[in-house]
Structure 1
Amino acid sequence: MNRALIVVDVQESFRARALWETVSNPEIAHQVDRLVRLARQAGDLVVWVLHCEPGTGNTFDPERGHVRLMAELERQDGEPLIHKTSHNAFTTTNLQQLLTEHGIRELTLCGLRTEQCVETTTRLASDFGYRVTFVTDATATHPIPHRDAPADLTVTELLADPRTLGAEEIIRRTEYALAGRFATIATIDELEAAAATRA
């Protein structure tokens, strides 16, 4: 086994925010679960990553009780669980050491948010020399407000602002930025088909 699936921030913290109603992929947990089952069948390492912001009082503060895997997902014994405090899954964790100890050279990335923690982890992983597959339909994100928009926009105001960058455009741009530079872009269906061919 020299491959690992890295599941980034598929946690209840996001569902506890009003912004969740704008998410690009409400079925993200089910999509990720398909990838997890595929990885387990192949004997790949599954690594779970959760984002924490201790002391903030927001939904990423562990004291609030939302920093846990989405209810549809189940971590098995022996699958590492890492808590991070940076956007990428490497800087504030022992992820690279863990991957090295397991002889991992190839990574599959999925999770929340597409252009933020998943993309940032993908870029760093590529720089570290890992061969990375970015599974877009097992990621999700939200619209992004314009840089000059007020910080306290309501969801309604965010969606009404013509300067807001929509989730689908964010995902499209992320694929363009990563493909051929930092990662191979794939879908769950493509990975399932490849696994069936190998079997």
Structure 2
Amino acid sequence: MRTALLVIDVQESFRQRPIWAAINNPGIVDRIDPLVEAARANGDLVAWIRHIEPGTGNVFDPALGFVEYLPGLKPAAGEPELLKTSHNAFTTTNLQQELTAQGVGRVVVTGIRTEQCCETTARVASDLGYETVFVTDATATNPIEHRDAPAGRDLAEILADPRTLGTAAIVERTEYALAGRFATVTDAASAVRDWRGAGA
């Protein structure tokens, strides 16, 4: 069974937001790069997904020029590059058709943000019948404000609010929600070892 590594929204847009200063995994590229190399070495697919919001004037608007991969990530010739406008990587792209055409039955999920686009993609992938692997330390997220928090606060105010959900809690909740239901939860080093073992 062929595997696809999904690299979701690892793009400059996120670094343009003040909340990036509180990201839990600023070195995410260093976690994803070995996975990309392992997938390619095993003859598996690497699919690159970026989030866009055309016409909004925000950091996800392609017109502003921030919808680019973070430095260190570069698709190889022939690897699919998809632009999405939904949280998951399937609904507004042809990702499923691409995976079917490539004979993929297993997906490995990485990217930004852990509990949003990555978790949602993992859930949809599972529902579509893919064996799904979620590489938690090859994802990244930031603290989340309480739903009743006032708008427009700066980062210091957000972090000082005891109702703000920290990144450790977000990651823990995501792993609890996915493991044994929607995905196998693992770490990057283990996923690389699995790929190398599969190619041996």
Which category of TM-score, normalised to the shorter sequence, fits these structures?
A: over 0.9
Moved over 6 A (4+): none
Instruction: Report the Cα offset of residue 196 of structure 1.
Output: 3.8
Matches of 1:139 and 1:78 in 2, distance apart? 24
SS in 2 for 1:109: strand
Aligned runs of 1:47-86 on 2, under 5 Å?
A: 47-86=47-86
CA distance in 1, matches of 2:58, 2:34: 30
Q: Deviations over 1:71-96 (max 9, x none)?
A: 11111101100000000001111111
Looking at structure 1, the residues matched to 151 and 112 of structure 2 have their Cα atoms a distance apart, in angstroms, of 21
1:35 Cα deviation after fit: 1.0
Q: Counterpart of 1:179?
A: 179
For residues 66 and 148 of structure 1, what CA distance do their matches in structure 2 show? 30
Sequence identity of aligned pairs in percent?
Answer: 57
Q: Distance in 2 between matches of 1:104 and 1:195?
A: 15
Q: Secondary structure at the match of 2:117?
A: helix
Structure 1 position 12 matched with structure 2 position 12: yes
SS in 2 for 1:125: helix
Read off the aligned partner of 1:7 and give its amino acid letter. V
Q: Does 1:25 align with 2:25?
A: yes
SS in structure 2 of the partner of residue 7 of structure 1? strand
Determine whether 1:142 maps to 2:142: yes
Instruction: Please state how far the C-alpha of 1:148 moved relative to its aligned partner.
Output: 0.2
Equivalent in the alignment of 1:101: 101
What is residue 162 of structure 1 aligned with on the other side? Answer: 162
Identify the residue that residue 44 of structure 2 maps to in structure 1.
44
Q: Report deviation, 1:4.
A: 0.4
- Offset at residue 189 of structure 1 (A): 1.2
Residue type at the aligned position of 1:105 = G
- Partner SS, residue 105 of structure 1: strand
Q: Partners in 1 of 2:162 and 2:6 — Cα distance?
A: 35
1:126 and 1:89 map into 2 onto residues whose CA distance is: 13
Unaligned runs of 5+ in 1: none
One-letter amino acid of the counterpart of residue 192, structure 1:
V
User: What is the distance in 2 between the residues matched to 1:61 and 1:147?
Assistant: 25
Query: In the comparison of the two structures, how many residue pairs are matched?
Result: 199
Task: Give the TM-score taking structure 1 as reference length.
Answer: 0.97
Partner of 2:151: 151
Cα distance in 1 for partners of 2:193, 2:98 equals 29
Does the 8 Å contact 2:146/2:164 carry over to 1? yes
Structure 2's unaligned 5+ residue stretches are: none
The residue matched to 1:126 in structure 2 has which SS? Answer: helix
Task: Provide the rounded CA distance (Å) in 2 between the counterparts of 1:179 and 1:120.
Answer: 13
- Counterpart of 1:193 in structure 2 is 193
**Deviations along 1:98-131, whole A, 9 cap, x unmatched?**
1111111100000000000000000000000000
Structural RMSD (CA): 1.0
Cα separation, 1, equivalents of 2:141 and 2:191: 21
Return 173-182 or 144-153, whichever deviates more. 144-153
TM-score of the superposition, structure 2-length normalised? 0.97
